[in-house]
Structure 1
């Protein structure tokens, strides 16, 4: 009888411990089968582009809280951003560094497009950096029905860097640069002058732009310590970087599907790697050089054991 009582007590203790562990997470159920909802931790401060923002002022703290809650409970979208970051951050980070733009702007890119190269907004903004047609052309991108370099990861990143550096030369404040990326430099400049502020963080703006800066900081906070916010991944669950060979062409291509077959890939693989090719052919009357990516076959197939997290914190 004594042994049975002890065994029962141990089992109950283990069950209670399990319930407590479940309750500490962001998702799950308690011992009664009820859904557990936990408010995410709000940090004392947040940093962006080397600038620190203390979150002890009520409005700043609550704006940050809103975005942390949003990312934690729209968890499918956040989880996919972390997975995709393992593929795209290694491509974008060296370009940001080369161009003298703070590394944290990769989180702005993630906010803009959820790291989906093919993203097109209802307003017509396209690509990872969500350039509008006119803005893309202004910063050196070719944009037409045949070629749309807003979907070219490297070229659009360089164009974004040019925009960001130009904005920084105007404001001298990276918070304002981020706000201008969302609302436009004209609007932010007018509001800074009208409201007598030196940083966009203290401006009274429309809801979208007001939230935008805190969405960037919240996503950065989560992606730097995803386990603290309920996101648990293994290396095998991340999307690996893809390796390509580059084929340069200076003439048109009548049939991209035939050209793809000649280079050992499917039409789908060709278009997926080169989303800037907008049609079924490439028109090139000017003799311009285009670099077309061809995925290497060893990179086209998953090897879960070979996937290395770009940021070790993603898979602790």
Structure 2
């Protein structure tokens, strides 16, 4: 009996110790910080980032005309476009890199034509500053459809498409925009008309008795269009405020190192022509994207200015 009691005593001691240890471990796992909590501490962030809304205090303007963000609907629509473009990282970085290539030429022509500088952001919204082609067939930085391009003096055929000619297309866009301004006397209405066409704007403006462009209730693309332009302007003018750090060296260089030659005779093979000029077919097309085939036919009395990179 004595040995039995001794054995039971020892067993009770071991059992008590085991229960105390188990209780301690449980306290550590339930009362202390979990693994997830530890990993979320400031010193252990695996994805350090700050995701926040944008400052909507403004003021926001387009071509000197106000965007009335005191109206909650206008404020929310602008907010959506600012957020959409601020967090569209790849696209916004590309725009920041491209602007040095395109803006100097566009800004110069807008100034010469008496068009507000802010209209350059319309080109950004239209094409992302590239010689894009839309699903509907609009082409170039200013996204002209074929009839409109031809109507404003751009040559468009199987060999030449001047919608891809930055200088000529920008001149044509200025004429187009100024024509709308004569009608509306408000660059905000001009932007809507550029997007969906003057006849459509006039129809919906009349039907809905809209006094301002912000009162229109139409297709989602046009409803967002002006806000997209203003959002892009806001971000591109102060990219650092939105977390974009692009050094001058990262900008794509302007295509301003070239000599211009006048072509008065047809060129049957542009690859041969490029070699004769000391360049490549590829670089000839980079500097002259309006040349859309492998040849160039020059009719009697006509001529073309072609840029040769140097």
Q: TM-score, normalised by structure 1?
A: 0.82
Runs of 4+ in 1 over 4 A off after TM superposition: none
Instruction: Give the counterpart of 2:76 among 41, 62, 66.
Output: 62
The alpha-carbon distance between structure 1 residues 31 and 287, as it changes in their structure 2 partners (threshold 3 A), is farther
Q: Secondary structure of the residue that 2:244 maps to in structure 1?
A: coil
Distance 1:273 1:294 in 2: 7
Larger of the two Rg values belongs to structure = 2
- Do the aligned residues in 1 keep the contact of 2:154 with 2:163 (CA within 8 Å)? yes
Distance 2:150 2:300 in 1: 18
Q: 1:288-303 residue pairs with structure 2 within 5 A?
A: 288-296=302-310
- Do the aligned residues in 1 keep the contact of 2:96 with 2:246 (CA within 8 Å)? no
Q: Secondary structure of the residue that 2:305 maps to in structure 1?
A: strand
Distance 1:137 1:251 in 2: 23
Instruction: Establish whether residue 104 from structure 1 lines up as the match of residue 118 from structure 2.
Output: yes
Instruction: Establish whether residue 247 from structure 1 lines up as the match of residue 250 from structure 2.
Output: no
Instruction: Give the counterpart of 1:137 among 150, 155, 161.
Output: 150
1:161-182 CA-to-partner distances (Å, cap 9, x unmatched) read 0100000001111001000111
Residue aligning to 1:260: 274
Distance 1:221 1:240 in 2: 23
- Do the aligned residues in 2 keep the contact of 1:188 with 1:200 (CA within 8 Å)? no
How many pairs are equivalent? 268
Q: Which piece of structure 1 moves more, 30-39 or 139-148?
A: 30-39
Give ranges in structure 1 of 5+ residues lacking alignment: 1-18, 21-29, 297-316
Query: How far apart are residue 35 of structure 1 and its match?
Result: 5.8
Query: How far apart are residue 190 of structure 1 and its match?
Result: 1.2
- Do the aligned residues in 2 keep the contact of 1:176 with 1:201 (CA within 8 Å)? no
Q: Which piece of structure 1 moves more, 149-158 or 66-75?
A: 66-75
Instruction: Establish whether residue 148 from structure 1 lines up as the match of residue 161 from structure 2.
Output: yes
Give ranges in structure 2 of 5+ residues lacking alignment: 1-40
Query: How far apart are residue 285 of structure 1 and its match?
Result: 2.3
Residue aligning to 1:42: 56
Distance 1:234 1:252 in 2: 43
- Do the aligned residues in 2 keep the contact of 1:141 with 1:150 (CA within 8 Å)? yes
Instruction: Give the counterpart of 1:169 among 179, 182, 191.
Output: 182
Residue aligning to 1:183: 196
Query: How far apart are residue 259 of structure 1 and its match?
Result: 0.6
1:22-48 CA-to-partner distances (Å, cap 9, x unmatched) read xxxxxxxx8432464222222333111
The alpha-carbon distance between structure 1 residues 131 and 68, as it changes in their structure 2 partners (threshold 3 A), is same
Q: TM-score, normalised by structure 2?
A: 0.83
1:128-169 CA-to-partner distances (Å, cap 9, x unmatched) read 000000110011101111110000000000000010000000
Root-mean-square deviation over aligned CA pairs:
1.5
